[in-house]
Amino acid sequence: MWQIEPTTGWEKDQKHYAKKRPNELAAVMFNLQRYVALLNVSKNSKAAQAGYLHTEQSGVVAVDQKGGGGNLQETRLYTYADDEQKVIYLIAIGDKASQHSDVEYGKSFVESLRNQPGA
């Protein structure tokens, strides 16, 4: 079974979204649960595919708000799934305006994770 590991960057973003965009946060969290369920029945993280999942650079996968109802701002929750540890890291959450910096932050997070001793 996959475990969810929030990062400090995610926790900061999540607090902002809980106050300013609660419907978008609820939609991406619902899709995150769907993603985890997919991971639990897939042979590896790359086999998990759905319309609300978007592959980014360095193995980062963005979970969007699709299916959460109308009039939601485009929102993406950036994650990284570690197949060996069965851990999905919650890296950041953002909108279209922050997409580039969120993807770059995600790439940096994955690089630092991979460079840790024992990784």
What would the pLDDT profile of 34-63 be if each residue is shown by its tens digit? 999 999 999 999 999 999 999 999 999 999
Given pLDDT bands bounded at 50, 70 and 90, which one contains residue 119?
A: low
| Mean pLDDT to the nearest integer, 93-118 | 92
Give the side-chain half-sphere CA count within 13 A for 11: 5
What would the pLDDT profile of 6-15 be if each residue is shown by its tens digit? 999 999 999 9
Regarding the domain with residue range 3-112, which homologous superfamily does it belong to in the CATH classification? RelE-like (3.30.2310.20)
Residue type, 115: N
Given pLDDT bands bounded at 50, 70 and 90, which one contains residue 71?
A: confident
Instruction: State percent of the chain over pLDDT 90.
Output: 90
pLDDT at 118 over 80: no
Helix residue ranges per DSSP H, the chain: 8-20, 22-41, 99-114
DSSP 73: P
Report the run of H or E that residue 52 belongs to, with start and end: none
